[in-house]
Structure formats: C-alpha cells, structure tokens
Structure 1
C-alpha cells in the first residue's frame, strides 16, 4: 500500500528544512503574535509565555468571536505587555488589494477567513514598531518550554523563517489526515501556527488560501531559508467533523503539495506549467481514490470528507486555474514588496493601527504595560 502511494504523494517535505545542529545564541522575541477567534480564556498560555519572555504580546481578535476588551480586562494583572486589537473584516483594512483575492472572489474557492489578513497585518506592525522579529503562535498551540521560542528567534540570524516542530496532534489537511488513518507514513510540516520570522525585511506575504503559510515560505522560484528548532504541541481536533473543511482545503492543498513536490525533486517552481498541473490533478485524484479504497471505517466521517474533497477537485479545479492563481500570486508578491516600502516607523501603536483603518474605540484596544 505505502509503495503505491509514494508515486502519488510525498508524505514528508522535511528534507527541505535546515535543522539547528550547532549552538545558537538565544534571543528574546520582540513580539509574540496570536491571531485568535476563540474565547479570550483560551489565551492564558500565550499570556504566560509573553510574561515569562518579557516580550510584547499582540492579540489580533475578531470582534464577533473574540474581544480585545475582554482579553485585556481578563489579563490586566498578568504581568504581560498586551496589545489587543479588534481587527475588522479584511476588506475594511487598508491592505493591498491582491490579484489572488480577485481571482477567487464570488467562486466556490473564496475563503471567508481573516487569518491571512491578520498575519499580514502583524508583519506590517512589526515594520512600523521596529520589531526585528516576531513569533506567530496560534491559540490552540502549547509551547512546553519558552526557551524554544528564544532558540527559534536566535536562529533568525541565519534563517529568514524558523518553524517549531509539532509533537502534539498532527497538523495536516483532511486528505493527509485520512492517509495517516489508513496507515500511511504521513508527516507534518512546519506552519504558521508556531513560526518565528525575521521582520527586518518583509518580502513575503500570506495569501488568502489554505496552506497560506506554505506560500509565505516560498520565493518566486523556490524556498526561502527555513530552519526548524524547538517543539510545540497542537491541541487535538477532529479533521473529519464536517465535509466543508475538506472542500475548503482542497485547492490550497493541491497547489501547495504540487509546488513542494517540485521542490522535493530539486526542481524550479517555473516548471509548474499547465502540463504539470494536469499531471498533479490526476495524481491527486488517484491518491484520494487510493485512500478511499483502503478505508475500512477507521475514522467516522473520513469517507464523506474525502468524497467532498474529490468532488471539489474533479468538478471545479483545472490546470488553467492553477496557472492563473500562481501568475496572480507572483504579481501579488511584487505588489506586496512595493507596498511595504511605503510603511514608515512610528513609536505609537495607535498611529500604527490607524494606518490600516483600525479605529476601534479605545475601550476595545488597550495597551497595558507592567
């Protein structure tokens, strides 16, 4: 089973990463950034980390689902320096208008998430407020040792990005979770849920698509300098709870796995032409069929989720769409680089936030220092 699947899917991309093998000077992160949609009570771990590290904690909240004011009130006496922000809907932010968004707008592929916008906002805030590095941390990630965040930040002297190993619940797409469920040797890659980034030069952005963090790690033709060090733990979740999750992931997962397949083989990303994507789509369909053929009820909801992913793949995704998206993404990278040059330094968080049309009342955007 495994041998047949290897011709259809690369279960690991670990060889593309550079693991720390020598003593690395520890560095305090300038800021810990948590994009959150959950209850502020779920942020206690991040607050404790920031207090221990004595670094700025930035909570990027979503108004409807999470509240900056509640988070600030809850942790006012935590000893952490907290900048809590109610981030408006992405289209209300004064961020660049990306061609990738326009391409997918009003289609089944349009992603109704503010995660990418929040991460891009954090990169811009870092440039404005003079943070040389930041650590992204999702609100469902635990860091057993704060030392590992200092280690990751220290490695940014040699790498542009440093991911932390996830030793908790595997963080994969629905299709990759399904492959693991039938006994496949599925690995997980580093991701934006626990990632230190150098922000002295903000050359890449997070597109609004599933696997946005994998795209952030890319250059136009290859992979940026990505290191790996330290450990984090993803909290458990059910990847097969809804079919919609598989549908929403499929386009981004196909693109990312297809691009990283080329990198695994030592190829340039320019090889991702129409012919390549016709092959990649066929390979993906056969991979999903392979998993379905070996599914014997290992996980409730697995088959339904895979059928949903397969339906999205076969009915809606074409090689021409893949080529068009990557063309738009490359142009967006240039748009982003030019845009970043218009961003100037300030010592005022209020001034920095107002640049992006964040005008939440003061009682919902509070900076606390202890």
Structure 2
C-alpha cells in the first residue's frame, strides 16, 4: 500500500542530483529510468574509480580472485560528475562541489538524493601509514603493501570487516594478530554463540587473537609498527589496519539546516528532515548515511547491502510519485565470507539473543539457526547453507 505525501509536489521534476555513486545512488538511478523518467540525472562522487561494489574489496579483490569493475547494478544513463560535495542548501536544492583541483562549482536540481555512505572510524592518534579499508584505492594500497613484501599485520577491530580482512590476509600468507575490546570476535553483530565459534575457526586458521583489550598506543618503527595493548602486550608487525566500524559522511552538511544524529534524519522512506523534524521538500537520503525513522519513532541506520538497494529504489519511486510505502519495515539481510564460511543473516541478532539449530546440511559447517530474543523470533543465521535460507525467504521453511 502506498500513501500520498502532500508535502511534496513531484510535477515538473526535470532534474535529479544524486550525491554518491554508491549502491543506494545506483539503485535510485536504475529505478528512475525503469519507471520511465527521462529527465536529467547527475551523480556526484570524488572517487575516480567509482562506481564499484564494496563487499568484494575485503575478499575477492584483496585475494586477487576478483577485479575491481563496474557493478551490474550501475546504470550508465546518467552524468557522472567527479567532485566532492562540500555544502548543501536544501531549500534552494543547491550543492557546492569542489573538484580535485580545488575548483568550485554549484549544481542545482529539482530533487536531491544524499547517498554519500560512510567512512572508516579512526583512532584519535595514528602514525602515518596506518591503513583502513573502505575504497578501491584502500584495497589496492593494502594489496600493494603485501606485494612489496609485508609479511605480518595487526588488525584492530574484530568485527565483520576485521575478520574478513584476517581471512583474506591469511590466504595471502600474511601473519595476522587481531585486537579488540570485545570479548569475542563478531559478537556485536552475530552474538556470543557465533563469536565463540569464530574463536575456533580463526585460531585454526592461524590468527592470533587479543580480545578484551584496548589500544594504548601505535608507533611507527624503522621497519613496520608497534602496537601497545592495554594489558601490557606489545605487538610488532609490518602493517597495522584499523577496522573499528564506520561513521556516516555528514560533516559536509554542517550548517545546512538538515537534522543530523548518527546519520541524516529521515522519515520512514527517505525524505530528509530539518532541525525541527519537518520534511524538506524533494530532498532525500538513502544507504549508509540515512537514519530512517522506524515505526516506534526512533531513527536507525541500516548498514546492509540489500537495505541500501531497497532504500535507493524507494526514494526513486517517491521522487516520481510523491508516495511512500506504508508496509511494515522489510527485514535486513547481509552476509560475510570468511575462513571458508558464508554466513548470512536475515532479520536481527539481539545482543542477548539465543540460537536454535533448525537444520544442518552435508556441506561443511552447513547449519541454519533461528535467532530468538527471549520468546520472540528475531531472525535467521545461515552458515554455508544458502539454499536453506532461500527456503525461509520463500516461506517454505519456518521456525520449529
């Protein structure tokens, strides 16, 4: 069911500017064209290699199993403008852009979509040469360092990205130590039970884990780096990689009058809100940068590949129709590939959630878990059994 948003008049929309050649931005372009929109679409992005898919960067790209290439979801029927958006007047729908040469220009449009995504969180003090992974250039820098002879790495952060990096680096023959304040790897996303399993498979793969510790200092040395842990341990390695999460790219919106709180504040389907919580006509956000209002009235970012694609599609439909979906929130879906395991999540995994094994398969480690939050069903975790999760999504398999 769709409801009409009377605060927006979509008639006469002849130009759309999308800030970010991201999955959300690309999905918006593709849906606009699929719906028959023949007006001007301009996509602004400073990354000279964009567009590309980000998930393979820590996996296939880093292990050289896959190249960096234009993704299938990208629609070429738009103008790709290289530059960084540095300011926005949302009421005039006017964007200031800086090119790599420092040249300034302004672009206006009938509708604007903010799809700038997120950037890696960094530690307050890091010496030069400490790496992070978000862009294709980051992946190339890390791969090049290994090509030049780097044999060891310290990864700070035992979340999904950190564990994917550890898996890929071990495939490349790099010795890996990992440090995190959390007591278990992957615990913030998958919960304690999967975290305990991860300790086993990571240790088996040769990763040295330092858990429940903070980072006291990182120092550059004549050959590599040293990392002082809060427990007194000192780690030495050729590389240090920070993987402690991401934060939305919103600094450039300071002073714009847009509501910001861990993302661009939006209503339930991507319309951007001002500082008073009112909708800003014809300004939208999608993807990792968007903090959508849920049915309880709180705002949350949905950092998942499928969420970004869905949001970009919904924003395109709203631009052209002025309507917004009133159906219940769709379940988030995401996956990770690491240490010979494909782990897929449908729904949510509460911090204190419990896992019930629903089905196993003959495939190595193949297990489908139902996630429970007390008495309530919360989601599913599939490990090396995508066919079982597909049955769940098709309604052919339910919790027991």
Shorter-chain-normalised TM-score: which range?
under 0.3
Higher strand share: 2
Higher helix share: 1
Question: TM (normalized to structure 1)?
Answer: 0.25
Larger Rg: 2
